[in-house]
Structure 1
Amino acid sequence: MAKKVLAVLIAILILFNMSSCSLVKTNRYEAQFLVLFDTITTLVSYMKTKDEFSDFSTLVYDNLKEYHELYDIYNDYEGVNNLKTINDNAGLSPVKVDQRIIDLLKFAKTLYEQTGGKVNVAFGAVLKIWHDYRTSGIDDPESAKLPSVQELADASEHTDINDIIIDEENSTVFLSDPQMRLDVGAVAKGYAVERVAETAKENGFTNALISVGGNVRALGNKGDGTLWNVAIQNPEPQGPNLHIVNIDELSVVSSGDYERFYIVDGKKYHHIIDPDTLFPAGFMTAVTIITADSGYADALSTAVFNMPYEQGLEFIDALPGVEAMWVLKDGTKKYSSGFMKYVKE
C-alpha cells in the first residue's frame, strides 16, 4: 500500500471513439489516478455522456480510497481504525473496526485453509523484514544485503493465523500475539477491486474495465457485445506482451518476480515470500489467473506462485471456473486446460 497518499484524481482523458450499443451511441472514456494501493488505477468505459463517466469514476475513486485507508498497514488516518491500528495494538487490546476489515480477514482465513497456508495475512512479521531490507537495498544498492535465516525464523514464530481474533458481535479484531503483524498485500487490492465493482454495478454502471496495478476486473463487455482485450505482461523487460485475453465479467490478475525486487550479489530477490522457506519463491517468474472474482484471483496468483508448477496445476484444475498460466524460469509457458479459450487469436 502507499506509504503516503500524495495525489487524487489527476486526469480524465476523454477519448471520443463512437460506438454503438443497442443503437445508442456511446463514447469511450478513460481516467487514471494515483496513488491508491501504491499503484496506478485505470478506468475505461463506454458510456453515453461525460457526466455519466464522471459519476462512475468518482464512485470508483471514492470507494477505493476508503478501502485503501482501511487496509493500509503503514499510515494513520483521522477517524479511521485500520490495519495499522490493529497492528499497533497487538497483544494490548481489541480494536473496533469497520465491517469491511472483518470481511477481508474472514475471506483471508478461508483462503489460508484453501491454499494450505500459501496465502497468510498473519505473515507480516516476516514480510516486514524483507520489506525493510529491500527498501534499504534499493536506496543503497552497494550496501544491499539479505536478512539472516535466524532473523526470519524468529519472526516466523509470530505468524499463526489463529492468533487473529475476530469478534463479529462487537466488531473488533485482536492480535493475541504481541509480535504479530498483519500484511494483506496478497489479497487486499483484488478484494477491494471486487467490492468496488459490485458497488458500481449496484449503481447501474456496466460496460467498464477497472485496472488497479494490473488487477483487472471487467464489468460486462464494451456494450455492443465486444469483449475486453487485456494484455498479459511479459516478465522480461521490454519484451512483447505474452498474450491478449478476451474477457467479459471476469478478472485477470498476475503475480511475478519482476514487480518489486532488489539485487544482492548479482541475484534478484523479489517480494513474494514462500511461507515454507521464508525466502522469495523460486519456482517461476510469473503466474496469471483468470476467474470471476478479483479478490480470489489476487490470492490465487500468490498461492500458485508459491507452488511448484505440477502442484499448482493440480490445485488449479480442482477449482471450478479458474484458469491459470505459468511462466517458468526458463521462459517456458504452461497453461491450465481451459486457459487458451480466452486467448485472442
Structure 2
Amino acid sequence: MAKLTQTITAISLFIISSLSPSKANNTEVLKTIASKYSTDTISQFYKCDANALINVEANKATLNTVKYFGTSVTITVFNQPQSQAKKQLCHALNVIQEYHFLASNYSTYPHVTNIKTINESPTDLHQIDPLLTDLLAQSIAWHDKSQGYFNIALSPVIDLWREKRFACMKAKNKQTGCQIPTQHALEQAAQFTQITDIKLDTKQHNIRLKQGMKIDLGGIAKGWMTEKVFQQLVADGVNQFMIDAGGNIRHKGLHPQQRLFATAIEDPLCKKSEYQLATCANFDGQYHEVIAGENITVVSSGNYLRYFEVGGKQYHHLIDPTTLAPKSTGVATTVILDDNQIYADVISTSLFLMPLEQAIAFANKHDYIEAVWYLNEQGDKVTSESFDKYRLTPQ
C-alpha cells in the first residue's frame, strides 16, 4: 500500500479550487533569470547540480533539494526521454530558487529586493521584481477573500509568539523559561498589522510599508511556488509528474500504472506522539484518510508539529488574527484542489483558523471546495458536503 500512496504529514480539510490565479506566463521566470542577472549571479545562485540531487532512469527521473523554503522538495517525472528529463528538472529548480530568494523573510540576497529587504527598511520605497509584485498583490487580495483570516501583515504579532517558542525550546528550565507574550505586547504589535498600510504599486512595481510593519509570505509562498513549478513542467512538455514540496502534494496526469495517484493522509495524533500511540501500530491507524484524484493538489495546515507548552497548555504556530493568539480548538486541516491550486496554502490555513461553523459554511458555499476537519484528540472529524467523492473507499 505504501508504494501506491504519497504520504503527507497533516490533517483534514480538502479543497477543490477553480479560483483564478495569476495569469502570468510562467516561462517568463526562466527568461527573466537569463536576462536580468549576470553570468556570475546565475553561476552563484542558480546552479542545478550543486543544489539538488537528480537521478535519471528509464521512464522516471527525480530531483530532490533541501536548500529552499526550509523544507525538502522532491519532483518526480515519468515517461520523459532521458535526454530531456534533467533539463526539465533543472528548469523546475530554477523556479524554486527564484521564488525562494524573492519571498524569504529570513535572509537577504545581493541580486534581489526581497521580503526581508523590505522589512528591514519598511518606510523606504522599494523597487521590486514583477514576480514579487504579483505574489504580493494576490496576497493582499486574499485578506478580504479569506474574511480576514489570511493577513501577510500579521508578522509583528507572529514574531512575538515565535520568539517565545524559540526561547522555550532552548530553555533548560521549562517552568521559568517558557512564557507566552503579554496581552499588552500583542495589542501593541497589532497596531502594525493593517493590510491597508501596505502601499503596493502594481504598475510601477514598488512597495512601501508603514513604520513598524513587517510582512510574511509564509502562508502563501510555498503553495505559490509549487504551482509555478507545475506550470513550468507543463510548459516543458511533461504530462505525468508528482511534486512534494514539504507536504504540498501536486499531481499531473495518471500514475505510470494508469491509475489515479493516491495520497494517504497521516493521522496528526500519530505524528504528534511520534507513533507511540497503540492506534498507530498499523497502516489504518497511521493514516486517517486515503484520497485519490487526477491533477490535484493536497495541502495541509495543523497545530501538532510546531508548538510549545506553558502551564500545561500547548500553543502552536498558527495565529488567529481575531484573537492575536493560536487557535485553541481543532487539530488539523488538509486541502485538495483540482484546478488553479496556487492559493492552496492560503485556503488551508484560513479554513483551519476560522470557527468551524464558519469554515464549513465557507466550504459548502463554494462548489470548488471540499474539506475534512480533524477536530480533537478523540479523532472526531467533519467533512463538507461532497468530500466523499475523493475518498479511495467512499464511506
TM-score after normalising by structure 1: 0.90
SS at match of 1:40: strand
1:46 CA drift (Å): 1.2
CA contact (8 A) 1:8 1:35 kept: no
1:80 CA drift (Å): 0.7
Check if 1:114 corresponds to 2:142.
no
Report the counterpart of residue 238 of structure 2 in structure 1.
Answer: 205
Report the counterpart of residue 340 of structure 1 in structure 2.
Answer: 388
SS at match of 1:62: helix
CA contact (8 A) 1:228 1:248 kept: yes
Check if 1:99 corresponds to 2:130.
yes
CA RMSD of aligned residues (A): 1.9
CA contact (8 A) 1:47 1:53 kept: no
Report the counterpart of residue 289 of structure 1 in structure 2.
Answer: 335
Q: Which amino acid aligns with 2:384?
A: S
CA contact (8 A) 1:12 1:31 kept: yes
How far apart, CA to CA, are the structure 2 residues paired with 1:76 and 1:147?
28
How far apart, CA to CA, are the structure 1 residues paired with 2:341 and 2:265?
16
1:331 CA drift (Å): 1.8
1:320 CA drift (Å): 2.6
How far apart, CA to CA, are the structure 1 residues paired with 2:312 and 2:353?
22
Report the counterpart of residue 252 of structure 1 in structure 2.
Answer: 298
1:99 CA drift (Å): 0.9
Q: Which amino acid aligns with 1:300?
A: I
Residues 290 and 54 (structure 1 numbering): CA distance in 2 closer, same or farther, change over 3 Å? same
Check if 1:62 corresponds to 2:94.
yes
1:129 CA drift (Å): 1.1
Report the counterpart of residue 350 of structure 2 in structure 1.
Answer: 303
How far apart, CA to CA, are the structure 2 residues paired with 1:205 and 1:281?
41
CA contact (8 A) 1:8 1:33 kept: no
Q: Which has the higher contact order (CA 8 A, sep 6+)?
A: 2
1:185 CA drift (Å): 1.0
Q: Which amino acid aligns with 1:113?
A: D
CA contact (8 A) 2:249 2:298 kept: yes
Matches within 5 A, 1:129-148: 129-140=160-171, 142=174, 143-148=177-182
Runs of 5+ in structure 2 lacking a partner?
Answer: 1-44, 281-285
Matches within 5 A, 1:1-345: 9-13=51-55, 27-91=59-123, 93-140=124-171, 142=174, 143-175=177-209, 177-222=210-255, 225-236=258-269, 237=271, 238=275, 239=280, 240-291=286-337, 292-329=339-376, 330-345=378-393
How far apart, CA to CA, are the structure 2 residues paired with 1:272 and 1:123?
11
Q: Identity over aligned residues, as a percent?
A: 30
More helix by share: 2
TM-score after normalising by structure 2: 0.79
1:235 CA drift (Å): 0.7
What count of residue pairs does the alignment treat as equivalent?
Answer: 328
1:208 CA drift (Å): 0.6
1:8 CA drift (Å): 5.7
How far apart, CA to CA, are the structure 2 residues paired with 1:114 and 1:38?
27
How far apart, CA to CA, are the structure 2 residues paired with 1:293 and 1:149?
39
CA contact (8 A) 1:283 1:306 kept: no
How far apart, CA to CA, are the structure 2 residues paired with 1:205 and 1:319?
31
Runs of 5+ in structure 1 lacking a partner?
Answer: 17-25
How far apart, CA to CA, are the structure 1 residues paired with 2:113 and 2:52?
27
Deviations 1:119-158 (A, max 9, x none): 0001111111111111121122621211111111110111
